[in-house]
Structure 1
Amino acid sequence: MNKSSLDCILITGASGGLGAELAQSYAMSGRTLLLWGRDRTRLESVATRCRAAGAEVRVRQLDLTDISAAIAAVEDEDDTGAITLALLVAGTGEVRASGDVVEDAAQVARLGLVNYVAPAAMAAVLARRMAHRRKGGIVLVGSAAAFHSLPFATGYAGSKAGLLRFGDALRLSVRKHGVRVTVVSPGFINTAAERGNIGPRPFQVEPTDAAARIAAAAERGVRHAIFPWPFRVLRWFDRMLPSTWRDRLLLALTPRER
């Protein structure tokens, strides 16, 4: 799906660093951008820059833990004008709090809703509608954390793993109907949210670079995009290691408390 052929694009998480970069990369005359985010002030700032580039922009402030509202909002947007590409970027990257042995149950529930349930439900709505139109693209932004059993981020890793499996299954179910589904599993991205987490961030990429890679993967219809390349190696390494060695390594990588 060529970028120039897209005329209505939904981007969730558009008030965050990565979502904002994606919005600006797609902004051009003749295109409608549907920008969703949690922070109204940042969302309006991104919208202003996109309008300056010639795009028509509609913004929506929404809490993705309200699944019914998220589904209704997707249906409303698509009824107003058929969405040709959906980039479901919104997510939360909370890890275990300092001093805790296990993450708080409410935190795990929130991670599951925002990182998996909401994007999966919205993707299902859009995939059904796009399949009826026999065209469209969906991009689910996950994380390389989906490949690893991170003891300090069980909710985060688990929610991203669920999104990865869902996305691949959805891809197979709608492929013959002209709908393309891409799952993106990036490593560390230099955003304000990411900088708030403890621990090292090896092979970190800038949001502009990450946005360009995601847009390229969407355009090519890539099944699963993993970047930067060391995370593809780490995924293979995790699979090949004996389980006892892998467990020791993952425990050793757990960030020390500040």
Structure 2
Amino acid sequence: MTFASILITGASSGIGAALARHYAAPGKILNLWGRDGDRLAAVAEECRARGATVVTRAFDVTEYSKFVIALEEADAAHPLDLAIFNAGLGGSLPKDRVGQDARHAELMAGVNFTAPCIGANVVAGPMAARKKGHIVLVGSVAAAFPLPMAPLYSGSKAGLEMFAQALSLRLRRHGVAVTLVAPGFIDTPMSQSLNEPRPFLISADQAAAIIARRLAKGRRHIVLPWQFSMILGLSKLVPRAVVRAILSVF
């Protein structure tokens, strides 16, 4: 399927910005949304220079009422072929802290789980009515593991993974595809803030190319880079008690 009208949240940096640049071309309509207006404007200019028509919105996806209205307006103006809910919030706990404060927990759950669930539900209706469209939810390989150094992050991404699986089953009879993207370590501002090793690191541009190529092939679950596909496969062969024992070291 070719994608002419595309929405990307979290488009001001990282994977979102890289995907915007990847898809930017004459005849493409890009709805690019992000929190940082200045960085978003810079990405938009790059995309316009490549021939794309670009519409930007600078706001936080946890402003749910604005988010819903913006989605409805975007689809009404140019019916969406591809909606990529990429906005995410990371972070891990310092070793001297037991938990995170309530506001941070609310924000991470909102950005990583609630907002993409709301967004996917809003665009699912009109896509189903047209019997075409593709919804992409960007999760993380962290969803597969109970990470003691990042319980909020791994937990919110695990919830998103289950939502993606259920929504895919629900929408396939209506001609709408749902894909879960599960990145490992990508060289983005989010991962650069981590005080820990980043094995198998790839650039955001490399990640965008892999994601776009696999979406074009209709893949429903995209794990990248490839080493993490192997890790996830092998982890299913290891007893859960062993996995927990290994993770409890961190």
Same fold (TM over 0.5): yes
Give unpaired runs (5+ residues) of structure 2: none
Cα offset, 1:99, TM superposition: 2.1
The equivalent residue for 1:203 is 200
The equivalent residue for 2:150 is 153
| Aligned equivalent of 2:41, options 44, 49, 53 | 44
| Aligned equivalent of 2:182, options 185, 191, 195 | 185
Residues 102-111 or 82-91, more deviating: 102-111
* Superposition TM-score, scaled by structure 1 size: 0.93
Cα offset, 1:237, TM superposition: 3.3
- 3-state secondary structure, aligned to 1:83: coil
The equivalent residue for 2:66 is 69
The equivalent residue for 1:85 is 82
The residue identity in structure 1 corresponding to 2:190 is A
Cα offset, 1:155, TM superposition: 0.6
- In 2, Cα distance between the equivalents of 1:98 and 1:82? 47
Residues 238-247 or 103-112, more deviating: 238-247
Cα offset, 1:229, TM superposition: 2.1
- In 2, Cα distance between the equivalents of 1:125 and 1:88? 12
The equivalent residue for 2:8 is 11
The equivalent residue for 1:113 is 110
The equivalent residue for 1:233 is 230
Cα offset, 1:234, TM superposition: 2.1
- In 2, Cα distance between the equivalents of 1:39 and 1:70? 16
RMSD: 1.3
- In 2, Cα distance between the equivalents of 1:64 and 1:94? 18
- In 2, Cα distance between the equivalents of 1:220 and 1:124? 23
Count residues with an aligned counterpart.
Answer: 250
The residue identity in structure 2 corresponding to 1:219 is A
The residue identity in structure 2 corresponding to 1:40 is G
The residue identity in structure 1 corresponding to 2:90 is G
Give unpaired runs (5+ residues) of structure 1: none
Percent of pairs with identical residues: 44
The residue identity in structure 2 corresponding to 1:34 is N
The answer to whether the 8 A contact 1:188-1:202 is kept is yes
Does 1:213 find its partner at 2:210?
A: yes
- 3-state secondary structure, aligned to 2:202: coil
1:49-88 CA-to-partner distances (Å, cap 9, x unmatched) read 1111111111001111222221121111111221111111
The answer to whether the 8 A contact 1:136-1:178 is kept is yes
Residues 59-68 or 114-123, more deviating: 59-68
1:141-172 CA-to-partner distances (Å, cap 9, x unmatched) read 11000000000111100111111111111111
The residue identity in structure 1 corresponding to 2:141 is A
Cα offset, 1:201, TM superposition: 0.6
- 3-state secondary structure, aligned to 2:27: coil
- In 1, Cα distance between the equivalents of 2:171 and 2:8? 21
Cα offset, 1:98, TM superposition: 4.9
- 3-state secondary structure, aligned to 1:58: strand
- In 1, Cα distance between the equivalents of 2:238 and 2:101? 30
